[in-house]
Amino acid sequence: MYEKNSIKALEIIDEMTKEEINYYDSNNNSNLIIACNYELEDVCIKLINKMSYDMINIRNNFGNTALSYACGLNMSKVALRLIPLMTSENINYYNKNNITALHLACENNMIDVCRLLILKMNREMIELENVEGNTALHIACRNNLEEIAMLLLSKMTLNSIEKVNKKRETALILATKNRMEEIAIILISMMMNKMIKIEDNRKKTALYYAEINNISRVIQKIKENNKL
């Protein structure tokens, strides 16, 4: 099904056989994956209601599922409908760039989707770094997603919380850059002092960003920590 017009596509689906609904092409693109790529949200929902479990979970030759595309294209309604129908393997799946559905949902500020993915995913995948060295926590702090950052902190180990990306940024540096006061305070209380002091690729620390953003409680917490 390659119809880009949503109204026409919805009409076509009503006339399709079960076999046609569950069709996939030579690149393993199902009708659902194609509809996600065209950002046809209503068509996706209708296909999900009619497709087999296996076809909902199929990965194309690029290693992406319909869930990956829904999260990457900011289609929350589709992603929320898909998540309960995905296998554990596909919920936790990552592509060749080490990108999970959670990374994509955080990038697109899909708070409800992030919340559900965090509940469903295993710790190893929640903590996974993408090719840029970012965990979902890095992305949540960069995008000022305080609730999601808080949920992630409850699931992650200290080692993963302290990870440094390729720009030499910790989640704490990103949190102080974005004035995420409560998250920064929690991170400081959890992290080793040497990781709190780490410099990014601009030779700036979390304390520097806290000071230029005038986050007094964070400045005080870092300075208290330095005395220990």
User: For every one of its 228 residues, what pLDDT tens digit does the chain have, with 9 covering 90 and above?
Assistant: 555 667 788 888 989 999 999 999 999 999 999 999 999 999 999 999 999 999 999 999 988 999 999 999 999 999 999 999 999 999 999 988 999 999 999 999 999 999 999 999 999 999 999 999 999 999 999 999 999 999 999 999 999 999 999 999 999 999 999 999 999 999 999 999 999 999 999 999 999 999 999 999 999 999 998 764
Please check whether residue 66 is in contact with residue 101, taking contact to mean a CB–CB distance below 8 angstroms.
Answer: no
User: What residues contact residue 139 under an 8 Å CB cut-off, 6+ apart?
Assistant: 103, 106, 107, 145
Q: How many C-beta neighbours within 10 Å does residue 112 have?
A: 12
Give the model's pLDDT for residue 227: 60
Please check whether residue 144 is in contact with residue 183, taking contact to mean a CB–CB distance below 8 angstroms.
Answer: no
Please check whether residue 57 is in contact with residue 65, taking contact to mean a CB–CB distance below 8 angstroms.
Answer: yes
* Cα 186 from Cα 142, distance rounded (Å): 16
Has residue 38 been placed in a domain? yes
Has residue 137 been placed in a domain? no
Has residue 76 been placed in a domain? yes
Please check whether residue 111 is in contact with residue 143, taking contact to mean a CB–CB distance below 8 angstroms.
Answer: no
Give the model's pLDDT for residue 8: 82
Residue numbers of the domain that contains 44:
1-85
Has residue 12 been placed in a domain? yes
Q: How many domains does the chain have?
A: 1
Please report, for the domain that includes residue 49, its CATH number.
1.25.40.20
Has residue 81 been placed in a domain? yes
Give the model's pLDDT for residue 54: 96
Has residue 53 been placed in a domain? yes
Please check whether residue 133 is in contact with residue 164, taking contact to mean a CB–CB distance below 8 angstroms.
Answer: yes
Give the model's pLDDT for residue 225: 85
Has residue 43 been placed in a domain? yes
Closest to 47 in 3D by CA, of 81, 75, 89: 81
Has residue 10 been placed in a domain? yes
